[in-house]
Chains A and B, each alone.
Chain A
């Protein structure tokens, strides 16, 4: 990067299934105010506002215009970004480009979703090609179910393994005051929950949450002058799949799937040979339990077909050697437009030591975050507490 970029503040709403008490603007404003307060800055100090959400989930296009009072973007530079589930991370990515290039010194990044206000299943079907397969594209659950059936057939994992992921997520969420699904559940509870689409049960899936997240990015000088604990963006990468050809419906695919390609590139930039020891914590995008097991493998935390062993051995627990999603992750909170930004913000909180109840019990210097966009592309962001790292 031409200039260093730091996260100098951030904030989030409490995430809930129902927020009848606020409209979209009021909800977004909660996160904006929290981020400004955390950074000790005012709206007038922001050079630019970048906003993102899932297009049409809330029934409005141009949310950047409708929310301009709540985001603070009135009368200043602004951008709207819409890249599906990745959007929260893409907003951070765009903000980092603005700071790294020297176009801006301080950028306010916002992601939000008020899922209860629209028919998210209907809008999500628009992700599929209208003439090829949309008839079957009524919900993300079927896609993740096929991932699960392929994963079990390929590697011999059992439904108990995905249930362990569900338990880890919700037990971690209980430690996170902002999380949506704080459930004191066991593997048996997951296996006894309602079958949605075999092998996916109710507790294998993320909730539909309402919530928002905001982070403030700044240049070197601002970060050093104004921020006690800046968290530095050390590398960013994105990668796309080719639609129709390649995804986790065949987990044994030898072709260059986006997640592995992206991880390979970001590790190459940073000189990472062993990601599970290089990074101290991971915040990954896992809308379903099986997705987390596949991420372990695609990120190189273990070999192919070994992901379910990691969860079985407790390696990715909050107090394990490779903590994954101590926040409770997307499985516990999915306000989609904010979800990928929450991965970045939660990772930053871990590096700052400010995660509170879900702070991992070891020194956190570096973190890696991932995102999904329609499960066919990803944004990865690597963070560090030190610039010379």
Chain B
């Protein structure tokens, strides 16, 4: 007798799940300032003084209500990055980011948190490094929509080179 291969059935299915999120009292202020004035605002904890971005109602560490708004400069330092070689799907649009591209975490000057975004640098390990200084590049006024995509990317500040190079 010859062994017959068993047929296993599996059924494909695509699910489209739309959401609509409220930004809330704190983040709405930051997003409207970003959209209307091209400025970035964070909140400071009255107790530990940490500057928190995105802004939120309670300081997780101190259990107190965050109050004072602080404007951040549009420049900061790259603390970690990757050069992405996968066509990473943007979950907010369903479209892929075209590889290779650089993205990373930037600590805006004076802020305690980091902001992840695209880094407008060549996907070359010699051209991007931890410690690199960057600035925020915004969409032109009038084209901004009030979400994080109003930041196009970070771009490296001119006249700097990789340490040790």
Query: Which residues from chain A sit less than 8 Å from chain B, CB to CB?
Result: 20-21, 59, 121-122, 125-126, 128-139, 141-142, 145-150, 153-154, 194-200, 242, 244-245, 249-250
Contact = CB atoms under 8 A, between A and B. Distances in A.
Contacts of B31: 131
B91 interface: yes
Nearest to B21: A130
Give 8 closest A-B pairs by Cβ, nearest first.
A145-B82, A153-B130, A125-B91, A146-B80, A138-B88, A150-B80, A198-B83, A20-B8
Contact of B113 (A148, A149, A195, A245): A245
A135 B112 contact: no
Interface in B42-56: 50, 52-54
B27 A132 contact: yes
Nearest to A129: B54
Contacts of B103: 136, 142
B136 to A, nearest CB: 15
B10 interface: yes
27 contacts: A59-B13, A122-B91, A128-B91, A131-B148, A132-B54, A133-B115, A134-B91, A135-B149, A137-B91, A142-B82, A145-B84, A147-B80, A149-B80, A150-B80, A196-B85, A197-B82, A198-B83, A200-B82, A244-B53, A244-B113, A245-B50, A245-B113, A249-B105, A249-B114, A250-B79, A250-B105, A250-B114
B89 A146 contact: no
Interface residues of B, number: 48
B86 interface: yes
B21 A131 contact: yes
Tell me if B's interface is mostly helix, strand, loop or mixed: loop
Contact of B89 (A131, A138, A249): A138
Contacts of A131: 21, 23, 27, 31, 54, 147-148
Given A142-B82, A146-B80, A135 B89 contact: no
Contact of B19 (A21, A130, A148, A196): A130
Contacts of A242: 60-61
Nearest to B22: A131
Given A245-B112, A249-B114, A122 B89 contact: yes
Interface string B111-134: 011111110000001000111000
Given A125-B91, A135-B92, A135-B148, A197 B27 contact: no
Given A130-B21, A132-B54, A244-B54, A198 B113 contact: no
A139 B82 contact: no
Contacts of A145: 82, 84
Q: Which of B82, B83, B97, B129 has most A Cβ within 10 Å?
A: B82
B89 A149 contact: no
A137 B105 CA distance: 12
A245 B81 contact: no
A23 to B, nearest CB: 9
Nearest to A242: B60
A244 B148 CA distance: 14
